[in-house]
Amino acid sequence: MSVNQNEANLEAITITIAHLEKNGKCDEKVIKKLKDERDRLLRELNVYSL
């Protein structure tokens, strides 16, 4: 269960990316934008490390 809106968005984006990649029916540009947004949220939540 998500604690705040950013965590809820992160969860939804991660599930969406997994679903799109599994089905293979999505434009790579869309997946890249979703991954960029996921990375932004991870950095904002201070759980992203390079």
Residue 26: the pLDDT is 83
At 1-50, the pLDDT tens digits run: 567 899 999 999 999 999 999 998 788 999 999 999 999 999 998 886 65
16 CB-contact burial (10 Å; exposed 0-12 / middle 13-18 / buried 19+): middle
Residue 39: the pLDDT is 94
pTM: 0.81
29 CB-contact burial (10 Å; exposed 0-12 / middle 13-18 / buried 19+): exposed
User: Domain segments of the chain: what residues?
Assistant: 5-44
Residue 50: the pLDDT is 58
Instruction: Give the number of other Cβ atoms within 10 Å of residue 19's Cβ.
Output: 11
Residue 1: the pLDDT is 57
Q: How far apart are CA 1 and CA 26, in angstroms?
A: 28
Specify the length of the chain in residues.
50
